[in-house]
Structure 1
Amino acid sequence: MVMIHNVVDSAELAARRGNLHPTDLSCISYLRGRGEPVSPKEIISALRLSSGSGTALFDRLERAGYVHRIPNPSDRRSILIVLDQEAASSPLSMLRGLQERYVSGLEGYTERELDVIAEYLERVAAMAVDARRPDHGAELTAKRLE
């Protein structure tokens, strides 16, 4: 588990070195990966934020010039968030550097070993999602009370 914390810490450190909140870098990464304008609701859901935290995030990123709010062409009552690739070149460069270091750490493994690593990481990610459920641990608490 220390390894996973170190990965998270390295992403947070990269964000802070770029004078960004870690969530800002996560949002920029998410938008880069999507490659298209995204609704605020989708971003908030993907990053597991509250509505208020999402609004604060979009305000920060828009003030920095990294994103723009644009009208949603399919629903005039809503907006979409679009990444400004040029303005966000510095954070995007940080993300590429992190990604390159992670990829270089996988050099030398066989395809089978990489499959095992990927399976493990998928299981850990699923456990992390499960741990965020409001009822997580309820079954353990119920057994202790019996």
Structure 2
Amino acid sequence: MPAAEHLPELLSQSGRWFQSYLDYPQCAARWHAQGHGSRLDHAAALAIGTYRGMAWLLVSPAMAACLALALGPRTRLPVRATAAAALWTATVAPVRQLAKAEGRPLTVRETAVQSAETLAGLLLKSIGPLTALGRWAVTGTRRTALAPKSNRRAAPPTTSDMETP
């Protein structure tokens, strides 16, 4: 499947991809009913799904909060410095590290433009997941097929499957 090229496509795609995290409880119940894995396996899958889903869901609010704190006129200096460091770490550092890894020097202007684009992407990152979560909250549990990412057709591997003869 080709990558999304326009913002509405990107937001729709991220909403579809996030749906897999909302499917984790149903998948765990299905695995349990089919006798796959232990209760600990199911709990671990639910914990991982919850962690990863929340991390994705909170990217945009965290970036918006850091931006507001870094630019807020009434923000105390230690808080402002911490917020600015977080923004630098999330936007400027990756741009510079990627350019360094690719062996291409960046001008100050190129760094600023690419860092601003990265910030914009982070501010938009949670919109698709928020849309999926809102749809789930309004419609209740999902009645359609599980997202392909979360519903693998093959049974999870067992330790006997991993042993070599």
Please report the TM-score for the alignment, with normalisation by the length of structure 2: 0.28
Higher relative contact order (CA 8 A, sep 6+): 2
Please report the TM-score for the alignment, with normalisation by the length of structure 1: 0.31
